[in-house]
Amino acid sequence: MFGAGRGAMAIGGRWWLVALRKPEFANLRLGAVPMPAGPTGRIFGGGRSSLVNKYSKNIEGAREFLECTHSQEWNDLVNSAADALAPVKKYNYTDKFLHNPEHPNEDYNAVWRTALEQADSEETSNYINGAALDRILLQKTDLIRMQGDVADTMRNATRLINAAIVEQLKGDSELKRRYYEELARGAKPAWDRPEDAP
């Protein structure tokens, strides 16, 4: 809708520019402003991570790749391509980041940087599969938007999340051991009845 010129505003990230720089969107007059964030000024944001699997068949090559992602050359490439923001923060605080001579109309790059400065990452748990959690939350937040019953929907989401935690613990003895250590320190279990414990 936005790219076709049928919408005046959309919530998106800097990576949208990868597509919006294409010739078919040359007629769009683009700008960027901070996303409405309420009284705290905080928004949810995140980043990408690269890890080296200890079972990798090419650990040295994987380490070299990670080292490459810390180089100025790589970070400048990410910023120039507008694929979000460079992974090393200092490269986002340069005139080169703010003013890309190949795209002089993009005079709003400071907005993306400020958004990242004010972003809080979503809290995650080691005890639930991230994809399962995302599915539950997406479904339940959509339900809230459609029906508006926040309290009941969130109670249902809690029940589903707790069930997913129990399933995750059943399949991972080390994770289960760590979970029970948390319970011993006072954490609340994901089950109400002892017979439901993994």
Q: What is the pLDDT along the chain (198 residues), one digit of tens a residue?
A: 877 778 888 888 899 999 999 999 888 888 999 888 778 878 877 777 888 888 999 999 999 999 999 999 999 999 999 989 999 999 999 999 999 999 999 999 999 999 888 888 877 788 998 888 989 988 998 888 888 788 999 999 999 999 999 999 999 999 999 999 999 999 999 999 999 999
Distance of CA 76 to the CA centre of its chain: 22
Contact residues for 32 (Cβ-Cβ < 8 A; gap 6+): 108, 111, 112
Identify the pLDDT of residue 49.
82
Among 132, 155, 161, which Cα is nearest to 143's? 155
Let me know: does 30 contact 106? Beta carbons within 8 Å: yes
Q: How far, in Å, CA of 187 to CA of 183, rounded?
A: 4
Let me know: does 55 contact 48? Beta carbons within 8 Å: no
